[in-house]
Structure 1
Amino acid sequence: MGVPKKRTSKMRRDRRRAANSNLRVAVQVTKCPNCKEPVMPHRACSACGQYKGREVVPQAQG
């Protein structure tokens, strides 16, 4: 079984974790089909309250 012989130092651990930080990409933004506002994927539109063509969040009229 693979068991570490020595404890991994904090510096070595943090350096290994930091190596993957540049691989993260920004979240894609799409346009709402109803009001054309920018919306994150799989979220209800904050402007019109619609998700997948139906209103899921009631919006105040006025």
Structure 2
Amino acid sequence: MAVPKKKTSKSRKNMRRAHDFLTTQSVSVCPQCKSPKLPHRVCPTCGTYKGKEVLDVAKAS
């Protein structure tokens, strides 16, 4: 059974956990309707992606 030979200090423990944190999602602005949207995804309000209408929002709702 694996047992640590020495006690892990608070500093060592916190250095190990330095990368375990949550990051916020980046939000971009739709060029058509100027509403916030996730990058590389269809705009949920106007249904456009890269300047083309991909989704008919009036029909979908």
AA at the equivalent of 1:6: A
1:27 and 1:59 map into 2 onto residues whose CA distance is 24
Quick one: which of 49, 52, 56 aligns to 1:51?
A: 49
Identical pairs, percent: 38
AA at the equivalent of 1:21: D
Runs of 4+ in 1 over 2 A off after TM superposition: none
Scaled by the length of structure 1, what TM-score is found?
0.62
The size of the alignment, in residue pairs, is 50
Scaled by the length of structure 2, what TM-score is found?
0.63
2:26 and 2:35 map into 1 onto residues whose CA distance is 14
Q: Which residue matches 2:39? A: 41
Q: Give 1:28 shift.
A: 0.8
Does 2:2 align with 1:6?
yes
AA at the equivalent of 2:20: S
- Helix, strand or coil at the partner of 2:45: coil
RMSD over aligned Cα atoms? 2.9
Q: Which runs of 5+ in 1 are unaligned?
A: 8-14
Q: Give 1:59 shift.
A: 1.5
